[in-house]
Amino acid sequence: MIPASLKALIDATEGQRIVSWAGREIWVANEIWGQLAISLQGAQVLHYLPAPEDARATGEPATINSGVDDPLVAGGWLWVTPTPQEAPGAIRGGIPLCWPWFASENTADESPDRSGPMHGPARKANWQLDAVDEHEEGIEVHLSLPERLHSQLHPRAVVQANAQRLHVELITEHVGDTPIKMTAALHSYLAVDDVFACRVEGLIGARYLDKLKDFAESEQQGELGVRSGVDRIYHSNAEVTLDDGQRRMRVARQNSDSVVVWNPGDNVHPDTPPLTARRFLCIESANTRLDPVWMVPGAQHMLGTTLSLTND
Ligand SMILES: O=P(O)(O)OC[C@H]1O[C@@H](O)[C@H](O)[C@@H](O)[C@@H]1O
Decide if 297 contacts 179 (C-beta within 8 A): yes
- Range 239-251 average pLDDT: 97
pLDDT above 90 for 36: yes
Domains observed in the chain: 2-309 (2.70.98.10)
Distances (CA, A) of 288 to 59, 105, 151, 271: 41, 7, 21, 25
Q: Which of 170-174, 182-186, 200-204, 308-312 is predicted least confidently? A: 308-312
pLDDT above 50 for 232: yes
Q: Which atom of ligand 1 is nearest to the CA of 92?
A: 4
- Range 34-60 average pLDDT: 83
Q: Which atom of ligand 1 is nearest to the CA of 286?
A: 10
Structure confidence at residue 53 (pLDDT) = 56
Decide if 98 contacts 184 (C-beta within 8 A): yes
Name the pTM for this structure: 0.96
pLDDT above 70 for 182: yes
- Work out the pLDDT band at 66, boundaries 50, 70, 90: confident
What separation in Å is there between the alpha carbon of 92 and the centre of ligand 1? 10
Kindly state if the Cβ of 231 falls inside 6 Å of ligand 1: yes
What separation in Å is there between the alpha carbon of 99 and the centre of ligand 1? 13
Q: Measured between alpha carbons, how far is 32 from 50 in angstroms, rounded to an integer?
A: 9
ipTM attached to this prediction: 0.98
Structure confidence at residue 183 (pLDDT) = 98
What separation in Å is there between the alpha carbon of 207 and the centre of ligand 1? 20
Nearest CA to ligand 1 atom 9: 262
pLDDT above 90 for 166: yes
Structure confidence at residue 250 (pLDDT) = 98
Kindly state if the Cβ of 212 falls inside 6 Å of ligand 1: no
Average pLDDT, the chain: 95
